[in-house]
C-alpha cells in the first residue's frame, strides 16, 4: 500500500523588523562605531592600507 503525498504548503515565518526607534538607534550605534575606528586608528595605519591598495591595483593593471 502506497502513502499518499502530503499536499500541505508550509510558509516560512520571518521575524518582523524592529520598530523605527530600534532601527534609528542601530544606525546611530553603527555610525558611532565607524567614527571611533576612523579617529582611533593612527595615520601610519591608514597610509599603509592605502599603499597596499595602490600596490594591489597596480599589480592588477599589469596583469591585464
Domain boundaries, the chain: 20-63
Beta strands in 1-64 (DSSP E): none
Rounded Cα gap, residues 18 and 2, in angstroms:
47
The C-alpha cell that represents 28 in the structure block: 546611530
- Global pTM reads 0.52
The C-alpha cell that represents 27 in the structure block: 544606525
Backbone angles phi, psi at 10, to 5 degrees: -100, 130
The C-alpha cell that represents 25 in the structure block: 538607534
Q: Which strand (E) or helix (H) includes residue 26?
A: helix 20-40
Chain segment 10-59, per-residue pLDDT in tens = 777 766 667 888 888 889 999 999 999 889 999 999 999 999 999 999 99
Amino acid at each position: 500500500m502506497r502513502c499518499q503525498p502530503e499536499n500541505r504548503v508550509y510558509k516560512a515565518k520571518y521575524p518582523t523588523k524592529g520598530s523605527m526607534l530600534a532601527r534609528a538607534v542601530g544606525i546611530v550605534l553603527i555610525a558611532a562605531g565607524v567614527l571611533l575606528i576612523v579617529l582611533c586608528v593612527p595615520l601610519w595605519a591608514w597610509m599603509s592600507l592605502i599603499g597596499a591598495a595602490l600596490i594591489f591595483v597596480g599589480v592588477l593593471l599589469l596583469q591585464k
